[in-house]
Amino acid sequence: MSFTGIDNLESGEALEAALRRIGDERYHNRHPFHRLLHGGRLDRGQVQAWALNRYYYQAMIPIKDASLIARCDDPAIRREWRSRLVDHDGTSENDGGVARWLALTDGLGLERAYVTSLRGLLPATRFAVDAYVHFVREKSLLEAIASSLTELFSPQIISERVSGMLANYDFVTPETLAYFSKRPPQAQRDSDFALACVKAHAATQESQKAVLAALEFKCAVLWSMLDALYAAYIEPKHLPPGCFDAG
Amino acid sequence: MSFTGIDNLESGEALEAALRRIGDERYHNRHPFHRLLHGGRLDRGQVQAWALNRYYYQAMIPIKDASLIARCDDPAIRREWRSRLVDHDGTSENDGGVARWLALTDGLGLERAYVTSLRGLLPATRFAVDAYVHFVREKSLLEAIASSLTELFSPQIISERVSGMLANYDFVTPETLAYFSKRPPQAQRDSDFALACVKAHAATQESQKAVLAALEFKCAVLWSMLDALYAAYIEPKHLPPGCFDAG
């Protein structure tokens, strides 16, 4: 797969429009849990449950990205994708997105060893995140790249999240939310690249369908994580055996 | 891994007791959805949603079992495990457990092409079932075998299911439930073998811990499938985008 490939602008624009429609319909900013979280209608235990579960997603992102690099035979894509590893793993122990997520769970009063042990994780979180990693390892490289395109929609959700959480929760501080202040420009750069890649390479109807299905799949990963949080911690509050007890 | 191995009876008995405790605490017969299903408190659409989602589990079981056989270097275990393929795939087109499950979805009024297309599936069902298949492919053979041990507990749930569903739902007939009348002796034979295997081979504390964790993992797979059904179709009835609409 070479990045300087087919010039396929016209159907590229149609593809981008179709991808953005999927985001409008299926991105997790439409999920009821998201609205409760940002609207300040969760208690501290429920916000902790969200951060604890989302930690597993954050922790697996560099594994996912390295899996993609590991199967890519184009040095230009590998080089570009490598910046994601830098963003998430940083250049020293307390640097990078995963470390900043742990600053968030620290700030929410969760024990770091408990968070990283994954003992309190909802099984549905683990299954959804692992499904994403397996998808990137097992589907075509084009589909693996396309599955990252939820980042097209993340700058907006992040800005809603930060302002909503700061306004509504006295247990949340700007320092705690450092993860989110770093993310939007990274997500913008990454999704610009992934979108250009997909538009350049999804030249057949079949490959365009696969690209759209990859984004739907990824939206379902994020959506089902919020479904599981909602069911365990909001309604009907059925906590699966052994999971984090939000009190 | 040879089946005529270490004679490890004493700790084998303790291991079996620990496995049965996990079943007592975490098997999905304790899930609220199960109680509603058997107690006749679901409507036809909700029973359809259960059968439609559970179909994916049934359909992937022979894939899971073949994956286990594919990584097993002991002909005796491969031969024994092969009977599971026969049970699920049968010896002709309308024979076997998967076909009998489709007779159930037929009997409930679901279109077969829709069921097998998986279009209506809850993403959480797909992620949970795929997690099981990946577990069997990626963990040790001992853990893969141990993850089948939920069958130790299935004869009881099946008898509750059949009597409860026949007594409570006028849209369910004995023919529709043929799947369940075949399963208990198969599950008994299979779980006897898998349990003996695990007791004979989990000789260290570390391997016994891995066996127990494998059964906990598998209980979480089944449990999270019912969590997802409950959340989508009972309460709070948040149907993920694109999934089967139970009306």
Report chain A residues whose CB lies below 8 A from the CB of B131: 126-127, 130-131
List all residues of chain B from 69 to 128 with a beta carbon under 8 Å from chain A: 122-124, 126-128
Structure tokens at A144: 């693996």
In the block, residue with structure tokens 């076997």: B96
Residue A213 confidence (pLDDT): 98
Contact A123 B221 (CB under 8 A): yes
Is A114 in contact with A91 (CB distance < 8 Å)? Answer: no
DSSP symbol at A224:
H
Residue B155 confidence (pLDDT): 87
pLDDT band at residue B229 under the 50/70/90 scheme = very high
The angle formed by the CA atoms of residues A112, A36 and B131, to the nearest 5 degrees, is: 55
Report chain A residues whose CB lies below 8 A from the CB of B232: 227
Q: Is A134 on the interface with B (CB under 8 A)?
A: yes
What mean pLDDT is reported for chain B?
93
Residue A181 confidence (pLDDT): 87
Alpha-carbon gap, residue B53 to B220, rounded angstroms: 16
For the segment B37-59, the average pLDDT, to the nearest whole number, is 96
Q: Give which of B224, B226, B233, B243 to mutate to test A binding, by max A Cβ within 10 Å.
A: B224
Is A67 in contact with A136 (CB distance < 8 Å)? Answer: yes
Q: Is B131 on the interface with A (CB under 8 A)?
A: yes
Interface contacts (A, B; CB < 8 Å): 96
Top mean-pLDDT range of A143-152, A177-186, B153-162: A143-152
Residue A4 pLDDT greater than 90, yes or no: no
Contact B127 A221 (CB under 8 A): yes
Give this prediction's pTM.
0.91
Residue A9 pLDDT greater than 80, yes or no: no
Compute and round to an integer the Cα radius of gyration of chain B: 18
Task: Write the CA distances from B81 to A14, A51, B3, integer angstroms.
Answer: 50, 42, 13
ipTM score of the complex? 0.87
Contact A130 B131 (CB under 8 A): yes
